């Protein structure tokens, strides 16, 4: 939705801000995987709502990048739809591979310990991305 609307209505947002939000989404998911929200606040946020909201920001980021390329308006709508379908197919294929790997990993003895550590690293990298992008926004 935001990909199509952003490109067709020429809505552009700072790539720094969008990438900072993407970093925040990584932090959010790592905390979610670690059960932090349940432990800290006593409730589990709605995963579908969070996915939808972060997806809107990701789409706006792609729209901003496409606008930077100044693509021709000839066949723009069908090209955007085709691009979006291709992105979704790519995400599904990547998810299938990731799920196969994680299901294999879950059978290992130290899965919970390693998963917690992996999420801690993922959260750290998300904070790093956020800081880097916010700094870039302030400096630019």
Residue pLDDT, tens place only, 42-75:
988 998 999 999 999 989 988 988 888 888 888 8
- The predicted model scores a pTM of 0.80
Residue pLDDT, tens place only, 104-139:
988 888 888 888 999 999 999 999 999 999 999 999
Separation CA 98–CA 53 (nearest Å): 22
Inter-residue contact 115 to 33 (CB < 8 Å): yes
Separation CA 21–CA 52 (nearest Å): 13
Tokens for 113, please give them. Answer: 């310990």
């Amino acid at each position: 939705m935001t990909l199509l609307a952003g490109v067709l209505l020429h809505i552009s947002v700072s790539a720094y801000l969008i990438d900072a939000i993407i970093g925040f989404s990584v932090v959010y998911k790592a905390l979610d995987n670690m059960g932090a929200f349940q432990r800290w606040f006593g409730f589990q946020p709605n995963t579908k709502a969070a996915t939808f909201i972060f997806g809107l920001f990701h789409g706006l980021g792609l729209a901003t990048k496409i606008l930077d390329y100044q693509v021709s308006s000839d066949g723009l709508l069908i090209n955007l739809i085709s691009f979006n379908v291709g992105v979704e197919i790519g995400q599904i294929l990547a998810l299938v591979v990731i799920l196969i790997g994680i299901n294999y990993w879950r059978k290992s003895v130290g899965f919970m310990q390693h998963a917690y550590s992996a999420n801690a690293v993922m959260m750290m990298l998300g904070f790093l991305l956020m800081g880097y992008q916010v700094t870039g926004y302030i400096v630019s």
